[in-house]
Structure 1
Amino acid sequence: MASNDNMIAALLRERDGYERRGLKDRVGQVDEQLKHYGYDAKTDKANGPTGRTAPSQQTADAGKGPAKKTAAKKTAATAPPAPPAESEAPAASPAE
């Protein structure tokens, strides 16, 4: 599809939205742009904007429930703390 065809398709979708909302002045402005890009409403009436052309795609998450919760990792923090290690060096003798 040429770039003009892409622009024409986008302008036709835009024009359709303006028509549905009753914005006649905006429809006229879009018509001017369509004419600029070479669109002729009389000959291209069948090529107007249409709905979705491709079927909707199912994603990996569709149809599944909520995500599973992961189990908490067991760490050393759940075990009682070890008593502090006592030094094996002899105690300092009192100063004489």
Structure 2
Amino acid sequence: MASNDNMVAALLRERAVYESRGKTDRVQQVDEQLEHYGYTPEPDETDGPQGRTATPQQTADQGKPPAKKTAAKKTAAAPPAPSTE
């Protein structure tokens, strides 16, 4: 049965390519092969991608002012010259 699953997965990828290129005759041929291997599409698979099901939630970062920028690092001063005393 695993080989049928692999074949169905390959056929679905092939079908997606043909569908994206508008080759409806090839899509129909792949559909026939999918049926041969016992694949039946789920009802929501044929409708395409679905939209959002819930309203977006506010996160903790929303509504806060932007963070302050940090100051650039200062380079160290040159070491003092040796004393000649």
When normalised by structure 1's length, the TM-score is 0.43
Larger Rg: 1
Calculate the TM-score normalised by the size of structure 2. Answer: 0.49
